[in-house]
Amino acid sequence: MYVPPAFAEDRLPVLHDAIRAARLCTLVTLGSDGLEASHVPVLLDADAGPHGTLLGHFSKANPQWRRLSAEVPALAIFSGPDAYVTPSWYETKKQTGKAVPTWNYVAVHAYGALELFDDADSLRGVVTRLTERHEAGRPDAWAVSDAPEDFLQGMFKGIVGFRLPIARIEGKWKLSQNRPAEDRAGVVAGLRADGGPEELAVAALMEERG
């Protein structure tokens, strides 16, 4: 990922928080048919390895897992809030006209060798943890144990688990850090005026970063 110094984020707790907030990742691998990608929910074990470990699963019907190249690391992409930025919000534009549109966003890329597993106990563990995470707080929370055991065993036979020990991780918080303070203030005001959830989230991140 191209990360100019002004936009770089390398604090591991911040990167981990962004992964947890994103929840869904785009998992990219190189295989016998070239590049392939799947969109999968993952868990983060923050303490497993120097940068943490990602856990998830493929459908067995998805050919991506069969075609992995062991020599090439996988890439897990996590996207945070994003928003369009119009030059009309810049004080610079009012003064000189020298401004163009851009996009503010948060992104995390995690790289590592993908490890596959298909034993029922490990699969149950991953599915249970994913379920507990996303059912938490729901009034009628569903649990894996709510389903009949024979049904679960059949479902486990239809998936393949994966671990991705993170060997390298990089973050990009592109939040107008390269603009003068008055332009950044104009962007925050403009995003808040637009009022969409993504715009408000980006405005909040910009204010956090000053």
Any idea how long the chain is? 210
Average pLDDT, the chain: 95
DSSP conformation class of 68? B
Q: What's the pLDDT score for residue 111? A: 98
Q: Tell me if 190 is assigned to some domain.
A: no
With a cut of 90, say whether residue 182 has pLDDT above it: yes
Q: How many domains does the chain have?
A: 1
Q: What's the pLDDT score for residue 99? A: 85
Q: Tell me if 196 is assigned to some domain.
A: no
**Model confidence, pTM:** 0.93
With a cut of 90, say whether residue 95 has pLDDT above it: no
Write out the two tokens for 151.
């049904």
**Closest by CA position to 114, among listed 202, 27, 19:** 27
Q: What's the pLDDT score for residue 67? A: 93
pLDDT in tens, 123-151: 999 999 999 999 999 999 999 999 999 99
Give dist(CA 134, CA 52) in Å, integer. 20
- Asked if 64 and 36 touch (Cβ cutoff 8 Å), the reply is yes
Q: Tell me if 199 is assigned to some domain.
A: no
Q: Which H helix or E strand runs over 163?
A: strand 159-165
Which CATH number goes with the domain that contains 47?
2.30.110.10
Q: Tell me if 14 is assigned to some domain.
A: yes
Q: In whole angstroms, what separates CA 159 from the centre of its chain?
A: 22
| Average pLDDT estimate for 191-205 | 96
pLDDT in tens, 100-119: 999 999 999 999 999 999 99
The fraction of the chain above a pLDDT of 90, given in percent, is: 91
- Burial class of 152 by CB neighbour count within 10 A (0 to 12, 13 to 18, 19+): middle
Q: What's the pLDDT score for residue 93? A: 83
Q: At 167, is the secondary structure helix, strand, or coil?
A: coil
Give dist(CA 48, CA 166) in Å, integer. 9
Greater confidence (209 vs 1) lies with: 1
Q: Tell me if 99 is assigned to some domain.
A: no
Q: Tell me if 114 is assigned to some domain.
A: yes
Q: What's the pLDDT score for residue 5? A: 96
Could you tell me the pLDDT band of residue 89, with boundaries at 50, 70 and 90?
A: very high
pLDDT in tens, 40-87: 999 999 999 999 999 999 999 999 999 998 889 999 999 999 999 999
Q: Can you give the residue range of the structural domain that contains 147?
A: 5-81+104-178
Q: Tell me if 44 is assigned to some domain.
A: yes
Question: CA dihedral in degrees (9, 7, 87, 91; nearest 10)?
Answer: 100
Q: What's the pLDDT score for residue 48? A: 96
Could you tell me the pLDDT band of residue 32, with boundaries at 50, 70 and 90?
A: confident
With a cut of 80, say whether residue 210 has pLDDT above it: no
- Asked if 206 and 119 touch (Cβ cutoff 8 Å), the reply is no
Helix count and strand count (H, E) for the chain: 6, 10
Q: Tell me if 46 is assigned to some domain.
A: yes
Could you tell me the pLDDT band of residue 96, with boundaries at 50, 70 and 90?
A: confident
Give dist(CA 151, CA 127) in Å, integer. 14
